[in-house]
Amino acid sequence: MKKLNIAIIGCGFMGRTHSNAYRRVSNFFDLEYKPVLKAICDRNEEKAKGFANQWDYESVETDWKKMLERDDIDIIDICTPNNLHAEIAIAAAEAGKMIVCEKPLAMNAAQGQTMVDAVEKAGVANLVSYNYRRIPAVTLAKNLIDQGKLGKIYHYRANFLQDWTISTDLPQGGDGLWRLDVKESGSGVTGDLLAHCIDTAIWLNGPIKEVTAMTETFVKERQSVTSGKVEPVKIDDACAFLARFANGSLAVFESTRYARGHKALYTFEINGEHASIAWDLHDLHRLSWFDHRDEGITRGWRSIHVTDGEHPYMDKWWVPGLQIGYEHSFVHQVADFLEGLAKSTPVSPTFRDALETQKVCDAVLDSAKSGQWVKI
């Protein structure tokens, strides 16, 4: 196995999911490359040292620019708040590093375009972390659709519901809470949660042509962790939009952080001429399937326990019937990326693929402002 040296920037939740993926991938997948946790970077030195200790990183940096100067780093993995993605990715591309970037690609599509230009000019491998594609039940949905089993698709429906920002006492900015500060996040649920739904939707059902949206900011002011002052909240707390796909199907998308009782309820349902598919992140190892071609007397919704060796990725794990979970989607993502490197083929979603999602997010936010349908 050839060693591939990884440097992650950011020790938050995503820094952990990515570290775990690089650590475990070679134990389960037969690959040409073996990731080595070479360096971890965070502005907060104590935090970076603690993280390095826990995950066994060989070195610590507090300035990400130092990582780019190092010859012993092959992949820069960006797990920072969204406002840093572009600057780091462009500099990393210019330094000739391969790049993995957390979603959403950028603060907006114009910025995303500069990132696409940079990686394509430098010719470096690149990937955006839309991990839900690589949950076996979701990949199975993709395979069934690509085999034409649903026939013509009429409807796409997706939700991503949370409830963690309902308290008016929650401040904005800083660790974890940067998602509430528009200067660091670019948007609220649209870029954070709907971006996942849009990425999956485009992957499963093709391009989105136009959207009409509404957004709401329920809590108008929050204390800023950075300034200490009460400042206006400029993100979308909730967003709902309608969309038309290029294949003629109609879609409804909804996301909020104010759905009391829901922590991370990502669901989608697709209705085709012959069959329908439904999936739910809280039951992620199952795919619901209804096939109108089944014999009438036993026709009904089936719940497929996606744990068989024939199911996507599952032959790499345990034995049929035993489940895997959320963190494995990141392991699959790294496995696919490393396989792409071995074959010198781009692995989706590349920066260019993720730019499509970013364009839809921009159109959704524009439509919510103008009250008009917006074409992508």
Closer residue to ligand SOE, CB minimum distance, 13 or 318: 13
> Strands 374-375 and 208-216: what pairing?
antiparallel
By CB under 6 A, name the binding residues for ligand SOE.
Answer: 13, 162, 192, 196, 264
Cα 117 from chain centroid?
21
Closer residue to ligand SOE, CB minimum distance, 176 or 309: 176
Task: State the minimum distance, in angstroms, from the CB of residue 266 to ligand SOE.
Answer: 8
Task: State the minimum distance, in angstroms, from the CB of residue 286 to ligand SOE.
Answer: 19
Task: State the minimum distance, in angstroms, from the CB of residue 279 to ligand SOE.
Answer: 14
Residues for the chain: how many in total? 376
Give residues with Cβ within 8 angstroms of 74, minimum separation 6: 4, 5, 6, 97, 98
Give residues with Cβ within 8 angstroms of 210, minimum separation 6: 243, 244, 363, 373, 374, 375, 376
Sign of the alpha-carbon dihedral angle for 36, 38, 40, 46: positive
Closer residue to ligand SOE, CB minimum distance, 253 or 289: 253
Closer residue to ligand SOE, CB minimum distance, 85 or 196: 196
Task: State the minimum distance, in angstroms, from the CB of residue 44 to ligand SOE.
Answer: 20
What is the number of other CB atoms lying within 10 angstroms of the CB of residue 181?
Answer: 23
Closer residue to ligand SOE, CB minimum distance, 36 or 355: 355
> Strands 33-41 and 2-9: what pairing?
parallel
Task: State the minimum distance, in angstroms, from the CB of residue 150 to ligand SOE.
Answer: 26
Which of 313, 314, 291 has the alpha carbon at shortest distance from 302? 291
Closer residue to ligand SOE, CB minimum distance, 38 or 328: 328
Closer residue to ligand SOE, CB minimum distance, 174 or 290: 174
Q: Determine contact, residues 115/122, Cβ cutoff 8 Å.
A: no
Closer residue to ligand SOE, CB minimum distance, 1 or 264: 264
- What residue has token string 């024939």? 310
Closer residue to ligand SOE, CB minimum distance, 42 or 192: 192
What is the number of other CB atoms lying within 10 angstroms of the CB of residue 13?
Answer: 12
Task: State the minimum distance, in angstroms, from the CB of residue 192 to ligand SOE.
Answer: 5
Q: According to DSSP H, which parts of the chain are helical?
A: 13-28, 45-55, 64-69, 85-94, 109-122, 136-146, 182-185, 189, 195-205, 326-343, 351-370
| Omega cis (within 30) before 207 | no
Task: State the minimum distance, in angstroms, from the CB of residue 104 to ligand SOE.
Answer: 9
> Phi, psi at residue 215, to the nearest 5°?
-130, 165
Task: State the minimum distance, in angstroms, from the CB of residue 214 to ligand SOE.
Answer: 21
Task: State the minimum distance, in angstroms, from the CB of residue 255 to ligand SOE.
Answer: 10
